[in-house]
Structure 1
Amino acid sequence: MIGRRALLLGVGAVVASPHRLGASAPARDELDLVLNGAWRQGGYALGRTEPGALIFVDGEALSNASADGLFVVGFDRDAPAGVEIAVRSGDRTTRRVLDIAPHDFPSTRVDGLPPATVEPSDPALLARIQQEVAVKTEAFASDADADDFRDGFIWPLEAFRISSEWGAQRVLNGTPARPHYGVDLAAPAGTPIRAPADGRVIFVRPDMHFEGGLTLIDHGQGLISAYLHQSQQDVASGQTVRRGDPLGRVGMTGRATGPHLCWRLKWRNRNLDPSLLIGAHAP
């Protein structure tokens, strides 16, 4: 087992100044913009700008800064080498292009899974999976007007072993599969799971085909964390949780070969590594 303070390799923090090189102040048509975070594939940027400013990523309007001017942007596993973040308020706009570091993702093999959880073929099961995809898609579209990500995350377990790294290319029962968009935290069945940050519970279901006991939390602006394979769930949809509050218990429900928590994070349909937000703080 390892403690929650470990495993922070690869997390960096960089500040982007709102000033042009060699200038003492932003131009009149620019907004203040300060950024920090982990600028790598699967990482994120936390920003501070004018309250309510519209946030663009590569030209697409995706969010608004909070009442305190805070916002979050996520970089997918396969994010390109450069990502432009722009903030706009009225006729004033500021743009920054961030260099996104590539990451060498490992490959992992998992054998002994029930065939129906790897290559389902039964029509009734396929219909169930399709229905579950629909309800998950609706939940992941949640967009709470909050900035509960502002103080970063803590680990959702007190002690654990990482049994599969985030972003690993998966081979399931010998069949190549999608990358693993979660961090697997192996721990004994029944280990308490706690909320890594404040947020609002938006989805609780105990019997998902792949995920088993699944809970989703909206931390604001579309940043949604997920907790899979739970044997017990101690929260209800619509409930507000604070950092450290109990969410449930580690289990091995759904597609799992042993007790563990699969911890996931999404922002605007981009898959992020939740562990990179451990200890983060908005600028």
Structure 2
Amino acid sequence: MKRWLVVCLLLLAGMAQGRALANEPPPGLTWQGDFSQGGLVIGRAEPGLQIKLGERMVSVAGDGRFVFGFGRDEPASVPLTVTRGGKAEQVALQVTARTYDIQRIDGLPPAQVTPPPAVLERIRRENAKIAEVRQRNTPRQDFLQGWIWPVKGIVSGVYGSQRILNGEPRQPHFGIDIAAPTGTPVLASTDGEVVLAEKDFYYTGGTVIIDHGMGINAAYSHLQSVTVKVGQRVKQGEKIGTVGATGRATGAHLDWRVNWFDVRLDPQRLLPKE
């Protein structure tokens, strides 16, 4: 009898582990998406449920829709807590790790590695503006429409890559770079509202950020021209600016990034597979 009980317990443990590895949603939730670093998950919850991913509350819309994402360095296991009527259930989501391209470059002049002190205050102000708009949590669900390439060109930089300059690790690249001739039209990758439109940021030059709802936003950087204004509604495929080499750029390209609030997603994984 004891042996039979041990076998049953082992089987139940194995089933629970299998459920965790498959990221099967707990009762009351359905979802689909990419459970890997940089991935996005979209789901629906039954009425009355509250969802928490790690330490962050996940917004649930009136129709039950919710969305969350994983960052570049997300740990292998992330707790997700579902609460109904004061009773909480927690599951461990398994996040697939990725390998990133790391480049070491030595012998650079210091000015190319660290910005001069005179511009540090400007950088702080501009970063604060970007951080503020990325915290917007509007009920729109434009991101459900799907995504298109904002510009046609050669992918010259990928998500997650990182450079170590003169022995100092720099911030990883959180988007994709698309090389294209100066003046090439840049299009909105899906519907949304323009929440930032700047022509001359220190790092990103001409910069547009579009809110796509529920914390999902997209940034378009190094633009030669910005053709939209804050508060403007744009449709997928609508021109928002042109490719340039403004800010800290060494050649004409678009730096395209997508976030869930301050969580950096991989834009390339949102695009339809060709």
Shorter-chain TM-score bucket reads 0.7 to 0.9
**How far off its partner does 1:130 sit?**
1.5
In structure 1, the gaps of 5 or more residues are: 1-13, 20-29
Q: Measure how far apart 1:51 and its partner are.
A: 5.4
* Residues 197, 95 of structure 1: alpha-carbon distance in 2 compared, 3 angstrom cutoff: farther
- 1:38 to 1:113, Cα distance in 2 relative to 1, 3 A: farther
- Pick which of 260-269 and 82-91 moved more: 82-91
Which of 39, 57, 66 does residue 35 from structure 2 map onto?
39
For normalisation by structure 1, the TM-score amounts to: 0.80
Q: Determine the structure 2 residue equivalent to 1:11.
A: none
Counterparts of 1:1-283 in structure 2, within 5 Å, are 17-18=24-25, 30-31=27-28, 33-50=29-46, 53-58=49-54, 60-91=55-86, 95-108=90-103, 116=111, 118-122=113-117, 124-157=118-151, 159-172=152-165, 176-279=169-272
- Provide the C-alpha distance between the structure 1 equivalents of 2:120 and 2:74, rounded to a whole number of angstroms: 31
Q: Percent identical across equivalent pairs?
A: 42
Unaligned runs of 5+ in 2: 1-20
Alpha carbons 2:131, 2:262 under 8 Å: kept: no
Deviations 1:208-231 (A, max 9, x none): 000000111111111121100000
Calculate the TM-score normalised by the size of structure 2.
0.82
Tell me how far apart the structure 1 counterparts of residues 85 and 270 of structure 2 sit (CA, whole Å).
31
- Deviations 1:168-207 (Å, cap 9, x if unpaired)? 0124577531111110011111111111111111111010
One-letter identity of the residue aligned with 1:260: H
Amino acid aligned to 1:217: I
By percentage of residues, which structure has more helix? 2
Contact 1:16 1:36 in 2 (8 A): no
Q: How many residues align?
A: 253
Alignment partners' CA distance in 2, 1:110 and 1:170: 7
Contact 2:136 2:261 in 1 (8 A): no
Q: Is the 8 A contact 1:87 1:95 kept in 2?
A: yes
Query: What's the CA shift for 1:117?
Result: 5.9
For the pair shown, which has the larger CA radius of gyration, 1 or 2? 2
2:48·2:85 contact (CA, 8 Å) conserved in 1? Answer: no
Q: Over aligned residues, Cα RMSD in angstroms?
A: 2.7
- Give the equivalent residue in structure 2 for 1:6: none
Q: One-letter code of the match for 2:199? A: P
